[in-house]
A and B are shown apart, each in its own frame.
Chain A
Amino acid sequence: MTTTASHPPEDLGPRPQTGGLGIANVSKVYDPEGRAVVALDDFSLDVEAGDFVAIVGPSGCGKSTLLNILAGFDTPTSGEVLLDGVPLAGPDLAPRPGPDRVVVFQQGALFPWMTVLGNVTYGLLKQGGVSRREAEARAITLLAESGKLDRIADAYPAQLSSGMQRRVEIIRALINDPRVLLLDEPFRAMDTVNKSTMHRHLLELYSRNRKTIVFITHDLEEALFLADRVIVMTTRPGTLKMDIAVNLPRPRKREMMASDAYLALREKAVFAVSEEAKRAFERGEREMA
Protein backbone atom coordinates (compact mmCIF):
# COMPACT_ATOMS: atom_id res chain seq x y z
CA MET A 1 0.00 0.00 0.00
CA THR A 2 1.53 3.30 -0.99
CA THR A 3 0.83 6.50 0.80
CA THR A 4 -0.14 9.49 -1.26
CA ALA A 5 -1.43 12.94 -0.40
CA SER A 6 -4.97 11.62 -0.17
CA HIS A 7 -5.21 8.06 0.99
CA PRO A 8 -7.24 6.03 -1.49
CA PRO A 9 -9.99 4.25 0.43
CA GLU A 10 -9.89 0.50 -0.16
CA ASP A 11 -13.40 -0.70 -0.75
CA LEU A 12 -14.77 2.29 -2.50
CA GLY A 13 -14.24 1.26 -6.05
CA PRO A 14 -12.92 3.46 -8.82
CA ARG A 15 -12.93 7.22 -8.70
CA PRO A 16 -15.71 8.92 -10.64
CA GLN A 17 -14.88 10.57 -13.95
CA THR A 18 -15.92 13.99 -12.86
CA GLY A 19 -15.75 16.07 -9.74
CA GLY A 20 -12.18 17.25 -9.49
CA LEU A 21 -11.95 20.63 -7.82
CA GLY A 22 -9.09 23.03 -8.17
CA ILE A 23 -9.16 26.00 -5.82
CA ALA A 24 -6.36 28.37 -6.72
CA ASN A 25 -5.36 31.37 -4.62
CA VAL A 26 -8.90 32.34 -3.81
CA SER A 27 -9.38 35.51 -1.82
CA LYS A 28 -12.57 37.16 -0.74
CA VAL A 29 -12.71 40.69 0.55
CA TYR A 30 -15.92 42.27 1.78
CA ASP A 31 -16.32 45.98 1.90
CA PRO A 32 -19.12 46.96 4.25
CA GLU A 33 -19.14 50.72 4.66
CA GLY A 34 -15.57 51.17 3.60
CA ARG A 35 -13.96 48.72 6.01
CA ALA A 36 -12.14 46.02 4.13
CA VAL A 37 -12.84 42.67 5.72
CA VAL A 38 -10.69 39.87 4.38
CA ALA A 39 -12.68 36.69 4.74
CA LEU A 40 -10.43 34.44 2.68
CA ASP A 41 -6.80 35.06 1.91
CA ASP A 42 -5.01 33.16 -0.81
CA PHE A 43 -6.69 29.84 -0.19
CA SER A 44 -5.59 26.97 -2.40
CA LEU A 45 -6.66 23.37 -2.42
CA ASP A 46 -6.77 20.52 -4.89
CA VAL A 47 -9.46 17.92 -4.49
CA GLU A 48 -9.36 14.75 -6.57
CA ALA A 49 -12.57 13.37 -7.97
CA GLY A 50 -14.23 11.15 -5.42
CA ASP A 51 -12.42 12.54 -2.38
CA PHE A 52 -14.28 13.16 0.85
CA VAL A 53 -12.85 16.38 2.22
CA ALA A 54 -13.84 17.98 5.49
CA ILE A 55 -13.10 21.61 6.26
CA VAL A 56 -12.85 22.73 9.88
CA GLY A 57 -11.79 25.86 11.65
CA PRO A 58 -12.76 28.30 14.38
CA SER A 59 -15.92 30.36 14.04
CA GLY A 60 -15.68 33.10 11.49
CA CYS A 61 -12.72 31.62 9.67
CA GLY A 62 -14.39 31.77 6.32
CA LYS A 63 -15.58 28.19 5.91
CA SER A 64 -19.01 29.28 4.81
CA THR A 65 -17.59 31.94 2.52
CA LEU A 66 -15.55 29.26 0.82
CA LEU A 67 -18.57 27.06 0.43
CA ASN A 68 -20.59 29.91 -1.02
CA ILE A 69 -17.91 30.47 -3.62
CA LEU A 70 -17.73 26.79 -4.48
CA ALA A 71 -21.49 26.59 -4.73
CA GLY A 72 -21.73 29.61 -6.96
CA PHE A 73 -23.56 31.90 -4.56
CA ASP A 74 -20.69 34.33 -4.43
CA THR A 75 -17.65 35.35 -6.47
CA PRO A 76 -14.07 35.47 -5.23
CA THR A 77 -12.29 38.80 -5.26
CA SER A 78 -9.28 37.11 -6.80
CA GLY A 79 -8.13 33.64 -7.68
CA GLU A 80 -10.25 31.03 -9.35
CA VAL A 81 -12.02 27.75 -8.88
CA LEU A 82 -11.91 25.03 -11.53
CA LEU A 83 -14.25 22.10 -11.80
CA ASP A 84 -12.70 19.34 -13.90
CA GLY A 85 -10.43 21.90 -15.46
CA VAL A 86 -13.22 24.31 -16.42
CA PRO A 87 -13.30 27.68 -14.64
CA LEU A 88 -16.25 27.78 -12.34
CA ALA A 89 -15.74 30.88 -10.27
CA GLY A 90 -13.52 33.88 -10.68
CA PRO A 91 -13.63 37.63 -10.22
CA ASP A 92 -14.97 38.12 -13.73
CA LEU A 93 -17.36 35.23 -13.83
CA ALA A 94 -20.96 35.79 -12.77
CA PRO A 95 -21.92 33.58 -9.86
CA ARG A 96 -23.54 30.48 -11.25
CA PRO A 97 -25.08 27.97 -8.87
CA GLY A 98 -26.24 24.74 -10.42
CA PRO A 99 -26.98 21.07 -10.12
CA ASP A 100 -23.37 20.11 -10.75
CA ARG A 101 -22.67 21.13 -7.19
CA VAL A 102 -25.69 20.88 -4.96
CA VAL A 103 -25.67 22.13 -1.41
CA VAL A 104 -27.20 20.64 1.72
CA PHE A 105 -27.86 23.53 4.07
CA GLN A 106 -27.24 24.03 7.73
CA GLN A 107 -30.75 25.02 8.73
CA GLY A 108 -32.31 22.66 6.26
CA ALA A 109 -33.87 24.02 3.10
CA LEU A 110 -36.53 21.56 2.12
CA PHE A 111 -39.38 23.56 0.66
CA PRO A 112 -42.05 23.42 3.35
CA TRP A 113 -44.86 23.86 0.86
CA MET A 114 -43.96 20.79 -1.19
CA THR A 115 -44.25 17.17 -0.20
CA VAL A 116 -41.18 15.03 0.16
CA LEU A 117 -41.75 13.70 -3.32
CA GLY A 118 -42.20 17.20 -4.67
CA ASN A 119 -38.96 18.28 -3.08
CA VAL A 120 -36.94 15.33 -4.28
CA THR A 121 -38.17 15.49 -7.86
CA TYR A 122 -37.81 19.27 -8.04
CA GLY A 123 -34.29 19.35 -9.44
CA LEU A 124 -34.95 16.73 -12.08
CA LEU A 125 -38.09 18.44 -13.27
CA LYS A 126 -36.54 21.88 -13.39
CA GLN A 127 -33.63 20.69 -15.48
CA GLY A 128 -36.01 19.08 -17.93
CA GLY A 129 -35.54 16.02 -20.04
CA VAL A 130 -37.28 13.74 -17.59
CA SER A 131 -41.01 13.09 -17.45
CA ARG A 132 -42.79 13.57 -14.15
CA ARG A 133 -43.57 9.89 -13.91
CA GLU A 134 -39.98 8.90 -14.40
CA ALA A 135 -38.74 11.49 -11.96
CA GLU A 136 -41.15 10.24 -9.34
CA ALA A 137 -40.16 6.65 -9.97
CA ARG A 138 -36.50 7.50 -9.49
CA ALA A 139 -37.31 9.46 -6.38
CA ILE A 140 -39.28 6.62 -4.86
CA THR A 141 -36.47 4.19 -5.56
CA LEU A 142 -33.87 6.37 -3.91
CA LEU A 143 -36.11 7.10 -0.97
CA ALA A 144 -36.80 3.42 -0.49
CA GLU A 145 -33.11 2.64 -0.50
CA SER A 146 -32.50 5.16 2.25
CA GLY A 147 -34.35 3.39 4.98
CA LYS A 148 -37.80 2.96 3.48
CA LEU A 149 -38.41 6.68 3.19
CA ASP A 150 -40.76 6.03 0.31
CA ARG A 151 -43.42 5.60 2.95
CA ILE A 152 -43.35 9.29 3.71
CA ALA A 153 -43.26 10.46 0.13
CA ASP A 154 -46.53 12.34 0.50
CA ALA A 155 -45.74 13.96 3.82
CA TYR A 156 -44.79 17.59 4.25
CA PRO A 157 -41.37 18.39 5.71
CA ALA A 158 -42.85 19.85 8.88
CA GLN A 159 -44.26 16.45 9.73
CA LEU A 160 -40.87 14.76 9.64
CA SER A 161 -38.25 14.44 12.32
CA SER A 162 -35.03 16.38 11.74
CA GLY A 163 -33.14 13.20 10.89
CA MET A 164 -35.64 12.30 8.22
CA GLN A 165 -35.60 15.83 6.88
CA ARG A 166 -31.84 15.73 6.50
CA ARG A 167 -31.93 12.42 4.74
CA VAL A 168 -34.53 13.68 2.33
CA GLU A 169 -32.49 16.77 1.68
CA ILE A 170 -29.42 14.71 0.90
CA ILE A 171 -31.44 12.57 -1.46
CA ARG A 172 -32.84 15.69 -3.07
CA ALA A 173 -29.27 16.69 -3.78
CA LEU A 174 -27.95 13.31 -4.90
CA ILE A 175 -30.78 12.48 -7.26
CA ASN A 176 -29.39 15.14 -9.60
CA ASP A 177 -26.10 13.26 -9.84
CA PRO A 178 -24.01 16.29 -9.00
CA ARG A 179 -20.28 16.26 -9.59
CA VAL A 180 -19.66 17.63 -6.14
CA LEU A 181 -21.81 17.40 -3.05
CA LEU A 182 -21.42 20.36 -0.70
CA LEU A 183 -22.59 20.07 2.87
CA ASP A 184 -22.65 23.11 5.13
CA GLU A 185 -22.63 21.87 8.72
CA PRO A 186 -25.69 19.77 7.95
CA PHE A 187 -25.86 17.89 11.23
CA ARG A 188 -24.99 20.79 13.45
CA ALA A 189 -28.24 21.02 15.33
CA MET A 190 -28.63 17.31 15.94
CA ASP A 191 -28.09 15.31 19.09
CA THR A 192 -25.37 12.68 19.28
CA VAL A 193 -27.49 9.66 18.50
CA ASN A 194 -29.16 11.22 15.49
CA LYS A 195 -25.83 12.51 14.33
CA SER A 196 -24.21 9.09 14.32
CA THR A 197 -27.13 7.66 12.41
CA MET A 198 -26.66 10.39 9.84
CA HIS A 199 -22.93 9.67 9.64
CA ARG A 200 -23.59 6.01 8.99
CA HIS A 201 -26.14 6.95 6.40
CA LEU A 202 -23.89 9.41 4.62
CA LEU A 203 -20.98 6.99 4.50
CA GLU A 204 -23.28 4.33 3.10
CA LEU A 205 -24.35 6.66 0.33
CA TYR A 206 -20.74 7.55 -0.30
CA SER A 207 -19.68 3.95 -0.64
CA ARG A 208 -22.56 3.09 -2.92
CA ASN A 209 -22.08 6.05 -5.20
CA ARG A 210 -18.69 7.63 -4.86
CA LYS A 211 -18.69 11.38 -5.35
CA THR A 212 -16.56 14.31 -4.42
CA ILE A 213 -17.85 15.55 -1.08
CA VAL A 214 -16.90 18.79 0.60
CA PHE A 215 -18.15 18.78 4.18
CA ILE A 216 -17.96 21.87 6.35
CA THR A 217 -18.15 21.34 10.08
CA HIS A 218 -16.94 22.63 13.40
CA ASP A 219 -17.05 19.14 14.91
CA LEU A 220 -13.55 17.69 14.64
CA GLU A 221 -14.54 14.17 15.53
CA GLU A 222 -17.20 14.21 12.88
CA ALA A 223 -14.66 15.45 10.34
CA LEU A 224 -12.11 12.79 11.18
CA PHE A 225 -14.70 10.05 11.21
CA LEU A 226 -16.18 10.87 7.83
CA ALA A 227 -13.42 12.27 5.65
CA ASP A 228 -10.26 11.26 3.79
CA ARG A 229 -8.74 14.66 4.35
CA VAL A 230 -9.38 17.21 7.01
CA ILE A 231 -8.46 20.74 6.09
CA VAL A 232 -7.89 23.07 9.03
CA MET A 233 -8.41 26.73 8.26
CA THR A 234 -6.82 29.65 10.05
CA THR A 235 -8.90 32.26 11.73
CA ARG A 236 -9.80 35.32 9.69
CA PRO A 237 -8.43 35.97 7.15
CA GLY A 238 -8.98 32.31 6.32
CA THR A 239 -6.36 30.32 4.58
CA LEU A 240 -5.18 26.75 4.67
CA LYS A 241 -3.40 25.97 7.90
CA MET A 242 -3.11 22.21 7.87
CA ASP A 243 -4.06 19.38 5.53
CA ILE A 244 -4.48 16.21 7.59
CA ALA A 245 -4.62 12.92 5.71
CA VAL A 246 -6.95 10.52 7.45
CA ASN A 247 -5.55 7.08 6.82
CA LEU A 248 -8.20 5.14 8.65
CA PRO A 249 -9.55 2.24 6.62
CA ARG A 250 -13.04 2.21 5.18
CA PRO A 251 -15.72 1.27 5.95
CA ARG A 252 -15.38 3.47 9.02
CA LYS A 253 -16.59 1.99 12.26
CA ARG A 254 -17.32 3.57 15.62
CA GLU A 255 -14.72 1.36 17.26
CA MET A 256 -12.02 3.05 15.24
CA MET A 257 -12.48 6.12 17.35
CA ALA A 258 -10.73 4.36 20.16
CA SER A 259 -7.70 3.38 18.06
CA ASP A 260 -4.29 4.97 18.51
CA ALA A 261 -4.22 6.13 14.93
CA TYR A 262 -7.44 8.05 15.37
CA LEU A 263 -6.40 9.54 18.67
CA ALA A 264 -3.15 10.78 17.20
CA LEU A 265 -5.00 12.43 14.35
CA ARG A 266 -7.46 14.00 16.71
CA GLU A 267 -4.65 15.34 18.87
CA LYS A 268 -3.10 16.99 15.88
CA ALA A 269 -6.36 18.47 14.65
CA VAL A 270 -7.43 19.73 18.04
CA PHE A 271 -4.09 21.37 18.56
CA ALA A 272 -4.23 23.14 15.22
CA VAL A 273 -7.78 24.39 15.67
CA SER A 274 -7.30 25.55 19.22
CA GLU A 275 -4.19 27.42 18.23
CA GLU A 276 -6.29 29.36 15.76
CA ALA A 277 -9.14 29.80 18.17
CA LYS A 278 -6.78 31.23 20.73
CA ARG A 279 -5.34 33.62 18.22
CA ALA A 280 -8.81 34.77 17.27
CA PHE A 281 -9.72 35.24 20.90
CA GLU A 282 -6.65 37.27 21.63
CA ARG A 283 -7.36 39.49 18.72
CA GLY A 284 -10.73 40.18 20.26
CA GLU A 285 -12.75 38.84 17.41
CA ARG A 286 -16.44 38.70 18.01
CA GLU A 287 -17.72 35.16 18.05
CA MET A 288 -19.77 34.72 14.95
CA ALA A 289 -21.77 31.68 14.13
Chain B
Amino acid sequence: MKDATVATTSPALPRPRRARRLDWRGTSSVVGFFLAWQLAVTFSLPGFTDIPTPWEVLVTFVRDFLFSANYWSSWLVSFQRVFLGFFLAQIIGIPLGLFFGTHATFRALVLPVFEMMRPIPPLAWVPLSILFWPTTEASIVFITFIGAFFIITINVFEGVRSIRPEHVWLARSLGAGTLRIFRRIMIPAVVPSIAVGMTLGIAVTWNVVIAAEMIASDSGLGRLTWEGYVSSTPTIVIVGMISIGLAGYLSTMIVDWIESRMMPWKQ
Protein backbone atom coordinates (compact mmCIF):
# COMPACT_ATOMS: atom_id res chain seq x y z
CA MET B 1 0.00 0.00 0.00
CA LYS B 2 1.44 3.28 -0.94
CA ASP B 3 0.20 6.58 0.34
CA ALA B 4 1.35 10.03 -0.50
CA THR B 5 1.15 12.80 2.04
CA VAL B 6 1.89 16.39 1.28
CA ALA B 7 1.40 19.32 3.58
CA THR B 8 1.34 22.96 2.69
CA THR B 9 1.23 26.20 4.56
CA SER B 10 -1.14 28.95 3.62
CA PRO B 11 0.11 32.16 2.03
CA ALA B 12 -0.47 35.41 3.90
CA LEU B 13 -3.58 37.18 2.61
CA PRO B 14 -2.90 40.65 1.21
CA ARG B 15 -4.94 43.63 2.44
CA PRO B 16 -8.20 44.12 0.59
CA ARG B 17 -8.20 46.74 -2.12
CA ARG B 18 -11.50 48.36 -2.91
CA ALA B 19 -11.98 48.84 -6.62
CA ARG B 20 -14.84 50.96 -7.90
CA ARG B 21 -15.33 50.93 -11.63
CA LEU B 22 -17.44 53.45 -13.47
CA ASP B 23 -20.39 51.81 -15.14
CA TRP B 24 -19.50 53.27 -18.53
CA ARG B 25 -21.85 51.03 -20.43
CA GLY B 26 -24.88 52.16 -18.49
CA THR B 27 -23.81 55.76 -18.62
CA SER B 28 -23.25 55.60 -22.34
CA SER B 29 -26.74 54.34 -23.01
CA VAL B 30 -28.25 57.13 -20.95
CA VAL B 31 -26.12 59.69 -22.73
CA GLY B 32 -27.13 58.09 -25.99
CA PHE B 33 -30.76 58.55 -25.09
CA PHE B 34 -30.38 62.28 -24.52
CA LEU B 35 -28.34 62.59 -27.65
CA ALA B 36 -31.02 60.86 -29.70
CA TRP B 37 -33.59 63.21 -28.25
CA GLN B 38 -31.50 66.25 -29.10
CA LEU B 39 -30.95 65.05 -32.64
CA ALA B 40 -34.60 64.18 -33.18
CA VAL B 41 -35.54 67.76 -32.40
CA THR B 42 -32.66 69.31 -34.30
CA PHE B 43 -33.56 67.41 -37.43
CA SER B 44 -37.27 67.94 -36.97
CA LEU B 45 -38.12 64.29 -37.17
CA PRO B 46 -41.86 63.63 -37.56
CA GLY B 47 -43.60 64.23 -34.28
CA PHE B 48 -40.70 66.12 -32.78
CA THR B 49 -41.38 69.46 -34.45
CA ASP B 50 -42.84 71.04 -31.35
CA ILE B 51 -40.68 69.32 -28.79
CA PRO B 52 -37.98 71.22 -26.94
CA THR B 53 -34.41 69.99 -26.71
CA PRO B 54 -32.96 68.68 -23.46
CA TRP B 55 -31.05 71.89 -23.05
CA GLU B 56 -34.15 74.04 -23.47
CA VAL B 57 -35.89 71.99 -20.84
CA LEU B 58 -33.04 72.45 -18.42
CA VAL B 59 -32.89 76.19 -19.00
CA THR B 60 -36.62 76.60 -18.56
CA PHE B 61 -36.55 74.56 -15.42
CA VAL B 62 -33.84 76.58 -13.76
CA ARG B 63 -35.36 79.84 -14.89
CA ASP B 64 -39.04 79.31 -14.19
CA PHE B 65 -39.43 76.45 -11.78
CA LEU B 66 -36.51 75.90 -9.53
CA PHE B 67 -37.25 78.96 -7.48
CA SER B 68 -40.98 79.10 -7.89
CA ALA B 69 -43.04 78.50 -4.76
CA ASN B 70 -45.88 77.32 -6.93
CA TYR B 71 -43.78 74.50 -8.30
CA TRP B 72 -42.64 73.20 -4.97
CA SER B 73 -46.10 73.42 -3.51
CA SER B 74 -47.21 71.17 -6.35
CA TRP B 75 -44.68 68.67 -5.11
CA LEU B 76 -46.04 68.92 -1.62
CA VAL B 77 -49.63 68.56 -2.71
CA SER B 78 -48.97 65.47 -4.78
CA PHE B 79 -46.82 63.90 -2.11
CA GLN B 80 -49.47 64.48 0.50
CA ARG B 81 -52.08 62.79 -1.61
CA VAL B 82 -49.85 59.85 -2.35
CA PHE B 83 -48.84 59.15 1.18
CA LEU B 84 -52.22 59.80 2.68
CA GLY B 85 -53.92 57.37 0.34
CA PHE B 86 -51.04 54.97 0.75
CA PHE B 87 -51.16 54.86 4.50
CA LEU B 88 -54.91 54.66 4.61
CA ALA B 89 -54.61 51.63 2.35
CA GLN B 90 -52.18 50.09 4.84
CA ILE B 91 -54.37 50.82 7.84
CA ILE B 92 -57.42 49.22 6.30
CA GLY B 93 -55.77 46.70 4.03
CA ILE B 94 -53.46 45.00 6.49
CA PRO B 95 -56.13 44.04 9.03
CA LEU B 96 -58.43 43.02 6.21
CA GLY B 97 -55.76 40.79 4.73
CA LEU B 98 -55.16 39.27 8.14
CA PHE B 99 -58.85 38.59 8.56
CA PHE B 100 -59.03 36.99 5.15
CA GLY B 101 -56.20 34.74 6.10
CA THR B 102 -57.44 33.64 9.47
CA HIS B 103 -61.24 33.49 9.35
CA ALA B 104 -62.49 30.97 6.84
CA THR B 105 -66.08 32.07 7.19
CA PHE B 106 -65.32 35.73 6.82
CA ARG B 107 -63.25 34.91 3.79
CA ALA B 108 -66.02 32.88 2.18
CA LEU B 109 -68.43 35.74 2.73
CA VAL B 110 -66.38 38.74 1.74
CA LEU B 111 -63.57 37.61 -0.53
CA PRO B 112 -65.79 36.97 -3.57
CA VAL B 113 -67.10 40.52 -3.44
CA PHE B 114 -63.55 41.82 -2.97
CA GLU B 115 -62.27 39.80 -5.90
CA MET B 116 -65.13 41.05 -8.03
CA MET B 117 -64.12 44.64 -7.43
CA ARG B 118 -60.39 44.11 -7.76
CA PRO B 119 -60.13 44.02 -11.56
CA ILE B 120 -61.84 47.39 -11.87
CA PRO B 121 -59.04 49.85 -12.64
CA PRO B 122 -58.72 52.48 -9.89
CA LEU B 123 -59.28 55.34 -12.29
CA ALA B 124 -62.64 53.94 -13.29
CA TRP B 125 -63.69 54.98 -9.80
CA VAL B 126 -63.04 58.65 -10.47
CA PRO B 127 -66.57 59.72 -11.41
CA LEU B 128 -68.19 57.86 -8.53
CA SER B 129 -65.57 59.24 -6.25
CA ILE B 130 -66.23 62.80 -7.35
CA LEU B 131 -69.94 62.28 -6.95
CA PHE B 132 -69.57 60.87 -3.54
CA TRP B 133 -66.91 62.87 -1.77
CA PRO B 134 -67.61 66.46 -0.85
CA THR B 135 -64.17 67.79 -1.74
CA THR B 136 -61.87 67.22 -4.71
CA GLU B 137 -59.05 66.47 -2.33
CA ALA B 138 -60.97 63.68 -0.67
CA SER B 139 -61.97 62.19 -3.97
CA ILE B 140 -58.37 62.09 -5.16
CA VAL B 141 -57.13 60.57 -1.94
CA PHE B 142 -59.87 57.99 -2.26
CA ILE B 143 -58.69 56.99 -5.72
CA THR B 144 -55.15 56.75 -4.43
CA PHE B 145 -56.40 54.61 -1.61
CA ILE B 146 -58.20 52.27 -4.03
CA GLY B 147 -55.03 51.91 -6.07
CA ALA B 148 -52.95 50.66 -3.18
CA PHE B 149 -55.68 49.00 -1.12
CA PHE B 150 -56.28 45.92 -3.25
CA ILE B 151 -52.60 45.23 -3.72
CA ILE B 152 -51.79 45.47 -0.05
CA THR B 153 -54.72 43.37 1.08
CA ILE B 154 -53.93 40.60 -1.36
CA ASN B 155 -50.28 40.55 -0.43
CA VAL B 156 -51.01 40.35 3.27
CA PHE B 157 -53.54 37.63 2.62
CA GLU B 158 -50.98 35.64 0.68
CA GLY B 159 -48.52 36.14 3.47
CA VAL B 160 -50.88 34.69 6.01
CA ARG B 161 -51.73 31.82 3.72
CA SER B 162 -48.09 30.93 3.45
CA ILE B 163 -47.87 30.18 7.16
CA ARG B 164 -47.69 26.47 7.57
CA PRO B 165 -50.37 25.16 9.88
CA GLU B 166 -47.80 22.83 11.42
CA HIS B 167 -46.01 25.80 12.91
CA VAL B 168 -49.17 27.01 14.58
CA TRP B 169 -50.08 23.55 15.85
CA LEU B 170 -46.59 23.11 17.20
CA ALA B 171 -46.76 26.43 18.99
CA ARG B 172 -50.09 25.53 20.51
CA SER B 173 -48.88 22.18 21.68
CA LEU B 174 -46.04 23.98 23.39
CA GLY B 175 -48.56 26.07 25.24
CA ALA B 176 -48.57 29.31 23.31
CA GLY B 177 -51.67 31.41 23.66
CA THR B 178 -53.44 33.16 20.82
CA LEU B 179 -51.78 36.50 21.31
CA ARG B 180 -48.38 34.94 21.39
CA ILE B 181 -49.01 33.04 18.20
CA PHE B 182 -50.10 36.26 16.62
CA ARG B 183 -46.96 38.08 17.63
CA ARG B 184 -44.44 35.36 17.07
CA ILE B 185 -45.70 33.56 14.02
CA MET B 186 -48.14 35.73 12.14
CA ILE B 187 -46.35 39.03 12.27
CA PRO B 188 -42.95 37.75 11.08
CA ALA B 189 -44.62 35.83 8.29
CA VAL B 190 -46.68 38.77 7.23
CA VAL B 191 -44.07 41.52 7.41
CA PRO B 192 -42.31 40.55 4.17
CA SER B 193 -45.65 40.46 2.38
CA ILE B 194 -46.49 43.88 3.70
CA ALA B 195 -43.16 45.04 2.35
CA VAL B 196 -43.87 43.63 -1.08
CA GLY B 197 -47.32 45.16 -1.02
CA MET B 198 -45.82 48.51 -0.14
CA THR B 199 -43.30 48.44 -2.94
CA LEU B 200 -45.90 47.51 -5.52
CA GLY B 201 -48.43 49.83 -3.99
CA ILE B 202 -46.30 52.97 -4.10
CA ALA B 203 -45.68 52.64 -7.83
CA VAL B 204 -49.34 52.19 -8.56
CA THR B 205 -50.25 55.02 -6.23
CA TRP B 206 -48.08 57.48 -8.09
CA ASN B 207 -49.61 56.49 -11.37
CA VAL B 208 -53.03 56.93 -9.97
CA VAL B 209 -52.37 60.30 -8.39
CA ILE B 210 -50.93 61.73 -11.56
CA ALA B 211 -53.83 60.58 -13.65
CA ALA B 212 -56.38 61.66 -11.09
CA GLU B 213 -54.79 65.07 -10.93
CA MET B 214 -54.83 65.38 -14.69
CA ILE B 215 -58.48 64.54 -14.83
CA ALA B 216 -59.97 66.16 -11.85
CA SER B 217 -57.85 68.55 -9.89
CA ASP B 218 -56.41 72.03 -9.93
CA SER B 219 -53.15 71.39 -8.14
CA GLY B 220 -50.29 68.97 -7.98
CA LEU B 221 -47.64 67.78 -10.38
CA GLY B 222 -50.11 65.96 -12.60
CA ARG B 223 -52.10 69.12 -13.01
CA LEU B 224 -48.94 71.05 -13.78
CA THR B 225 -48.08 68.63 -16.56
CA TRP B 226 -51.61 68.72 -17.92
CA GLU B 227 -51.69 72.48 -17.96
CA GLY B 228 -48.53 72.46 -19.96
CA TYR B 229 -50.29 70.27 -22.47
CA VAL B 230 -53.43 72.33 -22.58
CA SER B 231 -51.51 75.56 -23.02
CA SER B 232 -49.41 73.97 -25.76
CA THR B 233 -46.18 74.39 -23.85
CA PRO B 234 -44.35 71.09 -24.28
CA THR B 235 -41.46 72.34 -22.22
CA ILE B 236 -43.65 72.52 -19.16
CA VAL B 237 -44.98 69.06 -19.95
CA ILE B 238 -41.49 67.65 -19.94
CA VAL B 239 -40.52 69.47 -16.80
CA GLY B 240 -43.65 68.03 -15.24
CA MET B 241 -42.79 64.52 -16.36
CA ILE B 242 -39.28 64.67 -15.04
CA SER B 243 -40.52 66.06 -11.76
CA ILE B 244 -43.03 63.29 -11.46
CA GLY B 245 -40.36 60.74 -12.24
CA LEU B 246 -38.10 62.17 -9.58
CA ALA B 247 -40.92 62.31 -7.06
CA GLY B 248 -41.79 58.70 -7.80
CA TYR B 249 -38.17 57.72 -7.41
CA LEU B 250 -37.98 59.53 -4.12
CA SER B 251 -41.09 57.79 -2.84
CA THR B 252 -39.65 54.43 -3.75
CA MET B 253 -36.55 55.25 -1.78
CA ILE B 254 -38.63 56.27 1.22
CA VAL B 255 -40.59 53.03 1.05
CA ASP B 256 -37.35 51.04 0.74
CA TRP B 257 -36.04 52.78 3.82
CA ILE B 258 -39.18 51.94 5.75
CA GLU B 259 -38.84 48.35 4.63
CA SER B 260 -35.28 48.14 5.81
CA ARG B 261 -36.47 49.29 9.21
CA MET B 262 -39.21 46.73 9.22
CA MET B 263 -36.92 43.91 8.25
CA PRO B 264 -33.43 44.62 9.55
CA TRP B 265 -32.37 41.05 8.92
CA LYS B 266 -32.78 41.31 5.19
CA GLN B 267 -29.72 42.04 3.08
Give A residues with C-beta under 8 Å from B.
Answer: 3, 5, 33-38, 41-42, 234, 236-237, 239-245, 247, 268, 272, 283
**Closest A-B pairs by Cβ, 8 of them:** A34-B17, A243-B4, A35-B16, A242-B5, A239-B8, A245-B1, A242-B3, A240-B6
What residues of chain A lie closer than 8 Å to B18, measured between beta carbons?
A: 33-34
Inter-subunit contact A241/B7 (CB<8 Å): yes
* Complex CA–CA separation, A36 to B3 (angstroms): 31
Inter-subunit contact B7/A35 (CB<8 Å): no
* Complex CA–CA separation, A190 to B3 (angstroms): 31
What residues of chain A lie closer than 8 Å to B174, measured between beta carbons?
A: none
Q: A33-B18, A34-B18, A34-B19 are in contact. Are A243 and B13 (CB under 8 A)?
A: no
Kindly report which residue of chain A lies nearest to residue B13, judged by CB atoms. Answer: A35
Inter-subunit contact A3/B8 (CB<8 Å): no
What residues of chain A lie closer than 8 Å to B4, measured between beta carbons?
A: 240, 242-243
**Beta-carbon contacts of B1-25 to A below 8 Å, as 1s and 0s?**
1111111101101101111000000
* Complex CA–CA separation, A197 to B194 (angstroms): 46
CB B17 to nearest CB in A, in angstroms, measures 3
Contacts A/B (CB < 8 Å), 10 sampled: A3-B2, A33-B19, A34-B16, A34-B17, A36-B11, A36-B14, A234-B7, A239-B8, A242-B5, A245-B3
* Complex CA–CA separation, A272 to B17 (angstroms): 35
CB B2 to nearest CB in A, in angstroms, measures 6
Inter-subunit contact B8/A41 (CB<8 Å): yes
* Complex CA–CA separation, A242 to B7 (angstroms): 9
CB A53 to nearest CB in B, in angstroms, measures 13
* Complex CA–CA separation, A206 to B161 (angstroms): 48
What residues of chain B lie closer than 8 Å to A237, measured between beta carbons?
A: 8, 10-11
* Complex CA–CA separation, A242 to B19 (angstroms): 39
Kindly report which residue of chain A lies nearest to residue B2, judged by CB atoms. Answer: A5
* Complex CA–CA separation, A38 to B8 (angstroms): 12
Inter-subunit contact A241/B1 (CB<8 Å): no
* Complex CA–CA separation, A106 to B4 (angstroms): 28
* Complex CA–CA separation, A5 to B3 (angstroms): 8
* Complex CA–CA separation, A268 to B1 (angstroms): 12
Inter-subunit contact A247/B1 (CB<8 Å): yes
What residues of chain B lie closer than 8 Å to A242, measured between beta carbons?
A: 3-5
Inter-subunit contact B11/A38 (CB<8 Å): yes
What residues of chain B lie closer than 8 Å to A283, measured between beta carbons?
A: 10
What residues of chain B lie closer than 8 Å to A41, measured between beta carbons?
A: 8
* Complex CA–CA separation, A34 to B6 (angstroms): 29
**Beta-carbon contacts of B205-241 to A below 8 Å, as 1s and 0s?**
0000000000000000000000000000000000000
Kindly report which residue of chain A lies nearest to residue B14, judged by CB atoms. Answer: A36
What residues of chain B lie closer than 8 Å to A5, measured between beta carbons?
A: 2
* Complex CA–CA separation, A236 to B19 (angstroms): 25
What residues of chain B lie closer than 8 Å to A38, measured between beta carbons?
A: 10-11
What residues of chain A lie closer than 8 Å to B1, measured between beta carbons?
A: 3, 245, 247
Would you list which residues of chain B between 101 and 118 have a CB under 8 Å from chain A? none
* Complex CA–CA separation, A247 to B1 (angstroms): 8
Inter-subunit contact B13/A36 (CB<8 Å): yes
CB B246 to nearest CB in A, in angstroms, measures 32
- Extra contacts, 14 of them, besides A34-B14, A242-B3, A243-B3 (Cβ < 8 A), are A3-B2, A5-B2, A33-B18, A34-B16, A34-B19, A35-B13, A35-B14, A37-B13, A234-B6, A234-B7, A237-B10, A242-B5, A243-B4, A268-B3
Would you list which residues of chain B between 3 and 49 have a CB under 8 Å from chain A? 3-8, 10-11, 13-14, 16-19
CB A264 to nearest CB in B, in angstroms, measures 10
What residues of chain A lie closer than 8 Å to B8, measured between beta carbons?
A: 41-42, 234, 237, 239
Residue among A33, A37, A244 making CB contact with B3, cutoff 8 Å: A244
What residues of chain B lie closer than 8 Å to A239, measured between beta carbons?
A: 6, 8
What residues of chain B lie closer than 8 Å to A268, measured between beta carbons?
A: 3
What residues of chain A lie closer than 8 Å to B6, measured between beta carbons?
A: 234, 239-241
